[in-house]
Amino acid sequence: MDTQQQLTLDVTGMTCASCVGRVERALNKVDGVEASVNLATEQAHLSLADGVSVESLIAAVEDQGYHASVHADARRASTDDTAAAPDPQQAALAQLRQRLIVSAWLTVPVVLLSMVPALQFTHWQWLALTLASPVVVWGGWPFHRSAWLNLRHGTMTMDTLVSLGTIASFAWSLYALFLGGAGDMPAMHEWPWQASTMSPGHSIYLEAAAGVTTLVLAGRYAERRARRQAGEALRQLIALAPQQVTVLRGAQDAPVTIAADSLQVGERFVVAPGKPIATDGVVESGVTAIDTQAVTGETQPTRVGVGDAVVGATVNLEQRIVVRATAVGEQTQLGQMVHLVEQAQAGKAPVQRMVDRVSQVFVPVVLVLSVITLIAWLVLTGDPARSFSAAVAVLIIACPCALGLATPTALLVGTSRAAQLGILIRGPQVLETTRTVDTVVFDKTGTLTTGRMRVADTHLADPAERAQVWRAVLALEAGTGHPVGQALITHARDVLGDDATVAQVDDRTVLAGLGVRGSVDGQAVLVASPRGFDEAWQRDADDFAQTEAMTEVWVGWGGRVRAGIGLTDDVRESAAGAVRELQQAGLNVILLSGDRQPAAEAVGRRLGIAAGQVRAEVAPADKARVIAELQQAGHHVAMVGDGINDAAALAQADLGIALASGTDIAIESADITVLTDDLAQVPRALRLSKRTLGTIRGNLFWAFAYNVAAIPLAAFGLLTPMVAGAAMAFSSVFVVGNSLLLRRVR
């Protein structure tokens, strides 16, 4: 299909994979449209042929019962509207939060009145009805609406179960209060066991209807917020690139400021010191240092000159350069990272899908059993009251309230406990793969190491020149934004103490990819990597060779190397213990880094990671590829990282774990975030995630087992609706209690 434009729609109202499938199918039925819908970002990405109207696309989505609007950024770009457009996803989240708060306030007194006899007074049931009605009708409206839409399309999901259970409980309560005599009953509830021993009209179930609605709302709010945060990763990746760029045009190279997305391949643009580079390109003039950490994860900036390639969204640290664009838009390295993150996120399936599949069979079967019970009792006894009582008892005892609570309660308790331990788990989709993870991949810089460079060792040709060496270093490196330079300055000030004054520097020159030189107090001094010193300089190799230093810097003047300085970043104190604990648990631990092989292997040796398990000199896009290769080999992979360059790998992994000390984008791309720098939290996070998943599965099993065991009792008239409601409540209490055991996890 020849496409003319790309369009992104914000889609609200989707709750599960079946929703995504319906929206995607509806959009793809529109002629000239290719659509891909992402539940994590709540967006539809479309390629459009000429003549396709936005109105027809929005109508196709809304015909399925969802709401769609043009993505805010795209709308501002097309209309040049500088006003902030409302975010429909954030608005939907705020509305759900409002429903939850109001419902919770109204539900608490209903539950207390219904479950604590000492609080019951004359006509308390009417107050309970007054409080429960808005909870069931208004608070539960999202579930009722979704259930109706699912019914229209011939499917049943968790929303169908929740809506059915709450409506059944509430409808029976209305019947009992207005027609069955419950409105005039004594304050205390009666608790007969069989349908034949009391009038069914004295039973009300308002606490079940309101309580289940509120608890499921809480779970839905947590899930939606997690999806919203996951989608934020893509927006932050895109935001790295500058919005405007200064291009050189005409014979006189006149500077013209244009929108960055209007830049074309082959155009030349200016990058001032301290500014991000607009897109991938090649340096045409100027020499400078580029901070690539945001994109490559490297703490050591790269010095570039004419002919060197640069990457969009990296930052120019020192001097003005002119760059010729070689790639724009989705073809840039940043654009490819965005695509990788989006592609990996779109493939994740929530644990709720299993419940939805079962629900499609379970709910119709329950409805049929209820009808059969009603007919059988009418035929056998001819008593409408007893027949209706038994049928409703079947419906209520089978009401999947415990099933609806199984996932959200375990998730809420598990994630709350995780937060107490300094771990953030982003939803049920995280838990499905934790039990099968067999390989843990660690990024090196900023994850296993602190990412902060420091001087590790210094070798002096003449100890008496110590102060002179560091005074020269301080003078030449003063004002640099380079992490190596910053580490040298910090160490120089520590060495010099009160004498740390910056000397006069003349003819300071930055050497591309090497270092810096200049005249300090009339003496020509060179501070650079060993490659900056030719053989004419006299030195003793044994004195200046660094063993495991990440970066080696020499200082020289007068034709001699006066000092060799080794810099490195520290391994985190908790790293070795975390690696050892994971290995003892039978997990394969791999170190992944963009650094040089010797530096990466040196860190691996300190942590007990074999050289064969160290993958070094890996580019950002290749990190995700390494994860994919491990997965193709049959491994279930957890990735631990901290940088923007780790975002794609975190999303590609079966389980992404980010350190909160890292970038926001890495955190938002991850499934689990460790809120401290303690790497011991990584094995703890895996244990807690597996325990939470086990609790969810246990809850689901017992919820179904309870239904299977109790339905026959109700069908044979051995349970009244009142007792059925009590049993249903007990099953919910059991599920909640089982979930609360997660608070004991250490």
Mean of pLDDT values over 730-746: 77
Q: Is the pLDDT of residue 737 over 70?
A: yes
* Percent of the chain surpassing pLDDT 70: 75
Distance, in Å, from the CA atom of 74 to the CA atom of 580, rounded to the nearest integer, reads 48
Q: Which of the 8 DSSP states describes residue 738? A: H
Mean of pLDDT values over 237-246: 77
User: Cα angle at 701 between 698 and 707, to 5 degrees?
Assistant: 140
Distance, in Å, from the CA atom of 215 to the CA atom of 212, rounded to the nearest integer, reads 5
Beta strands at 439-443 and 588-592: parallel, antiparallel or unpaired: parallel
Are 19 and 38 spatial neighbours (Cβ–Cβ below 8 Å)? no
DSSP string across 122-144:
TTHHHHHHHHHHHIIIIITHHHH
Distance, in Å, from the CA atom of 410 to the CA atom of 738, rounded to the nearest integer, reads 8
Q: What is the pLDDT of residues 157-172, one digit of tens each?
A: 667 767 877 888 788 8
Give me the sheet containing 315-316, strands edge to edge: 302-304, 288-291, 315-316
Q: What is the mean pLDDT of the chain?
A: 78
pLDDT at 1: 44
* Percent of the chain surpassing pLDDT 90: 18
Q: Of 443, 569, 642, 671, which is the active-site residue?
A: 443
Residue 411: count of CB within 10 angstroms of its CB: 28
DSSP string across 361-401:
HHHHHHHHHHHHHHHHHHHHH--HHHHHHHHHHHHHHT-TH
Mean of pLDDT values over 476-491: 80
Confidence of residue 650 (pLDDT cuts 50, 70, 90): confident
Mean of pLDDT values over 75-102: 66
Mean of pLDDT values over 565-583: 89
- Whose CA is closest to 643, among 627, 626, 625, 623? 623
DSSP string across 90-110:
HHHHHHHHHHHHHHHHHHHHH
Q: Return the higher-pLDDT residue of 234 and 90.
A: 90
Give me the sheet containing 551-557, strands edge to edge: 449-460, 560-571, 551-557, 523-528, 515-520, 505-511
User: Cα angle at 407 between 426 and 360, to 5 degrees?
Assistant: 120
Mean of pLDDT values over 621-633: 89
Q: What is the pLDDT of residues 670-706, one digit of tens each?
A: 778 786 778 888 998 888 888 888 888 888 888 777 7
Q: What is the pLDDT of residues 137-150, one digit of tens each?
A: 999 998 898 888 87
Q: Is the pLDDT of residue 227 over 80?
A: no
Beta strands at 655-659 and 449-460: parallel, antiparallel or unpaired: unpaired
- Residue ranges, comma separated, of all CATH 3.40.1110.10 domains in the chain are 450-571
Q: Is the pLDDT of residue 508 over 70?
A: yes
Q: Is the pLDDT of residue 707 over 90?
A: no
Beta strands at 43-48 and 33-38: parallel, antiparallel or unpaired: antiparallel
Q: What is the pLDDT of residues 389-435, one digit of tens each?
A: 677 677 767 666 566 667 767 776 777 677 667 777 766 667 777 88
Confidence of residue 187 (pLDDT cuts 50, 70, 90): low
pLDDT at 194: 47
pLDDT at 135: 95
Are 608 and 632 spatial neighbours (Cβ–Cβ below 8 Å)? no
Q: What is the pLDDT of residues 11-20, one digit of tens each?
A: 887 765 567 7
- Whose CA is closest to 377, among 127, 195, 228? 195
Which amino acid is present at 502?
Answer: V
Which amino acid is present at 544?
Answer: F
Token pair of 488 as six digits: 């040298």
Q: Is the pLDDT of residue 207 over 70?
A: yes
Distance, in Å, from the CA atom of 387 to the CA atom of 504, rounded to the nearest integer, reads 101
CA dist 240 to 197, 235, 387, 651, 663, Å?
A: 71, 9, 67, 18, 12
Token pair of 82 as six digits: 């500088």
Name the 3-class secondary structure at 562: strand
Distance, in Å, from the CA atom of 677 to the CA atom of 675, rounded to the nearest integer, reads 7
Beta strands at 43-48 and 588-592: parallel, antiparallel or unpaired: unpaired
Q: Return the higher-pLDDT residue of 38 and 556.
A: 556
Distance, in Å, from the CA atom of 458 to the CA atom of 344, rounded to the nearest integer, reads 45
Q: Is the pLDDT of residue 79 over 50?
A: no
pLDDT at 99: 93
Contacts of 692 by beta carbon, 8 Å cutoff, 6+ apart: 410, 411, 414, 415, 418, 425, 431, 742
Q: Does domain 5-86 have CATH number 3.30.70.100?
A: yes
Q: Is the pLDDT of residue 722 over 70?
A: no
CA dist 215 to 13, 101, 208, 274, 353, Å?
A: 19, 11, 11, 50, 19
**Backbone region of residue 390 per phi and psi (left: phi > 0; alpha: psi in -120 to 50; beta: other values):** alpha
Token pair of 662 as six digits: 């890292």
Name the 3-class secondary structure at 238: helix
Are 505 and 473 spatial neighbours (Cβ–Cβ below 8 Å)? no
Are 160 and 151 spatial neighbours (Cβ–Cβ below 8 Å)? yes
pLDDT at 50: 82
Q: What is the pLDDT of residues 522-547, one digit of tens each?
A: 889 999 877 778 776 755 555 565 55
Name the 3-class secondary structure at 433: coil
Mean of pLDDT values over 552-574: 86
Q: Is the pLDDT of residue 266 over 50?
A: yes
Polymer length of the chain: 746
CATH number of 244-275+280-326: 2.70.150.10
Contacts of 74 by beta carbon, 8 Å cutoff, 6+ apart: 7, 8
Q: Could you give phi then psi for residue 324, rounded to 5 degrees?
A: -100, 125
Q: Is the pLDDT of residue 230 over 60?
A: no
Distance, in Å, from the CA atom of 24 to the CA atom of 500, rounded to the nearest integer, reads 65
Confidence of residue 204 (pLDDT cuts 50, 70, 90): confident
Q: How many CA atoms lie within 13 A of 248 on its CB side?
A: 15
Q: What is the pLDDT of residues 170-179, one digit of tens each?
A: 888 888 888 8
Residue 540 annotated among the catalytic residues of the structure: no
pLDDT winner (highest mean) among 37-51, 73-87, 241-255, 498-512:
241-255
Q: Is the pLDDT of residue 52 over 60?
A: yes
CATH number of 450-571: 3.40.1110.10
- Residue ranges, comma separated, of all CATH 2.70.150.10 domains in the chain are 244-275+280-326
Q: Is the pLDDT of residue 344 over 60?
A: no
Q: Dihedral of CA 588/343/679/226: which sign? A: negative
pLDDT at 40: 59
Q: Which residue has the tokens 């006899």?
A: 117
- Residue ranges, comma separated, of all CATH 3.30.70.100 domains in the chain are 5-86
Contacts of 192 by beta carbon, 8 Å cutoff, 6+ apart: 198, 720, 722, 723
Are 243 and 263 spatial neighbours (Cβ–Cβ below 8 Å)? no
